[in-house]
Amino acid sequence: MIIEESRIESIFSHFSEKPIIILGDVMMDRYLWGEVNRISPEAPVPVVEVKEETLHLGGAANVAINVCKLGAEPYLIGIIGNDLKSEIFNILLGDNGIRSDCIIIDKNRPTTVKTRIIANNQQVVRADQESTEEIGPELEDEIYEMVDSKIDHARALIISDYGKGVITRSLLERVISLCHSKNIFIAVDPKDVHFKSYKKVSVITPNHHEAGFAYGKRIRNVDDLKEVGWGLLKILEAESILITRGAEGMALFEKGDRLTFWPTVARKVFDVTGAGDTVISSFAVSKAAGATLPEAAFIANLAAGMVVSEMGTAQVRKDELLKEIRHYLKRSKNG
């Protein structure tokens, strides 16, 4: 598929026209950066001498940052705890230019924090502080009302499901039905526990492991990929499925038997943390700006290639992404 630079520039010029709703599991990513010079005398484990600590927004909140960096306005809807970590979370929202008026506090659950210990540029261990218990009817109603209050101002809705309890089957049914009634584009970053509940969405973006697990067939080659992709598209009655394939790039399955492959553009891979957030956000923002599904997948593929080349949770800026796409198109024309 040939994409002209003028077409990409036209899509990018419309990125800021309409807000994007992000609904899902919000969290913080905590990083402890250090070095390993010895083994603990207490157990056969490395001792990490911590040199630096950094905090970043993660999960659905990282999707919101991605949307913001691309020039669109995010409406972030999620749940945090009534704890010190929630105060830090709200400060980070403000630092990133994201409003917190749609963030709900649940005193019965902690604010989700993932702590990663990085030594010599390699992740040593990860520790999660979280609750995965599903929210009750009252919180579900409150979240639905939040979505309903913002839907008329938005052009797309991203469901960022990390399996932490905010996304429930009944909430999915209600929100998807609402979006259909308002002609809102629905993009889903899935979790396997709810996979069969993402019915009739506009796009769903599983990686090849998630897609194979959901369909019940391990993807070992292109024939397996096609069977899984077309099978899930039919089961979910979705408009499209974008399967991310790691080093093999991406495959976009669309209604009408259209299949488009995008090769990977990552020249080096340090860390895939947050790559799925970048894919779903850049895809949704592009589609909301008037891109076709293949055009949105092309943009998302380039964006993903940029973030995996950095260590830690990362995002791409609109101007940086446009520059990267221009360079890619130029390289492609020159062979």
Closest CA to 208 of 243, 248, 170: 243
Q: Cα-flanking dihedrals φ and ψ of residue 33, to 5°? A: -100, 130
3-state secondary structure of 198: coil
186 part of a folded domain: yes
46 part of a folded domain: no
Q: How far apart are CA 245 and CA 176, in angstroms?
A: 27
pLDDT for the residue numbered 175: 97
152 part of a folded domain: yes
| Mean pLDDT computed over every residue of the chain | 92
Q: Is the pTM of this model over 0.75?
A: yes
CATH code (residue 176): 3.40.1190.20
Domain of 194 in residue numbering reads as 5-26+58-110+131-333
pLDDT at 266 over 70: no
Q: % helix / strand / coil in the chain, to the nearest 5?
A: 40, 25, 35
Q: How far apart are CA 31 and CA 72, in angstroms?
A: 27
123 part of a folded domain: no
pLDDT for the residue numbered 332: 78
Query: What tens digit of pLDDT does each residue of 41-50 get?
Result: 999 999 999 9
CA angle, 172 then 174 then 179, to 5°:
90
Query: What tens digit of pLDDT does each residue of 310-329 get?
Result: 555 567 899 999 999 998 89
Query: What tens digit of pLDDT does each residue of 129-170 get?
Result: 999 999 999 999 999 999 999 999 999 999 999 999 999 999
Q: Which residues have C-beta within 8 Å of that of residue 327, sequence separation ≥ 6? A: none
Active site residue 257: no
Crossing angle (nearest 10°) for helices 5-12 and 318-333: 170
Q: Which residues have C-beta within 8 Å of that of residue 156, sequence separation ≥ 6? A: 18, 20, 21, 184, 185, 186, 187, 284, 285, 287, 288
269 part of a folded domain: yes
121 part of a folded domain: no
Query: What tens digit of pLDDT does each residue of 18-61 get?
Result: 899 999 999 999 999 999 999 999 999 999 999 999 999 999 99
233 part of a folded domain: yes
Residue from 25, 29, 271, 277 carrying the catalytic annotation: 277
Q: Which two tokens stand for residue 214?
A: 């959901």
pLDDT for the residue numbered 193: 81
10 part of a folded domain: yes
pLDDT for the residue numbered 270: 45
Q: Which two tokens stand for residue 45?
A: 């484990």
E-only strand ranges, the chain:
20-24, 26-39, 46-59, 74-81, 103-106, 113-119, 122-129, 156-160, 185-189, 203-204, 240-244, 250-254, 258-262
22 neighbors 67 (Cβ within 8 angstroms) = yes
pLDDT for the residue numbered 271: 43
Structural domain total, the chain: 1
